[in-house]
Structure 1
Amino acid sequence: MGFGSYDESEQQEQTVDEDDGESVNVHEHDHQGSVEVEDADSEQLLDQLQEIKEE
């Protein structure tokens, strides 16, 4: 087989099962909260991030 060739038998009889009974919940990992930072330097932001991680 050369570059870009394929076996046509693999392209026959392809079926797609569109109704597999499972769905994706796009809101499964939604998070609620707020962050308020005014005129903070990077060290203050890193401290706040560390506090959030510890919670």
Structure 2
Amino acid sequence: MAFSPIITKLYGPEAFGLLGAFVTVLAIVMPIAALSYPVAMFFNAMQQWLIRKKQFKLVL
């Protein structure tokens, strides 16, 4: 916030509009992208658990 007067002198309103659009897109995309990895890890762990469960039943 301390540098905002300097930044407003360097960049025009068009640049701030472009920055706002970019930040908005990132705010929407990043949670979706971050959610996909933990969900994939959960499904992989669940699949491995089910395979072990089936193997255990076959042993008995």
Instruction: Provide the TM-score with structure 1 as the length reference.
Output: 0.32
Instruction: Give the number of the structure whose residues are more often helix, by fraction.
Output: 2
Instruction: Provide the TM-score with structure 2 as the length reference.
Output: 0.29
Structure having the higher Rg: 1
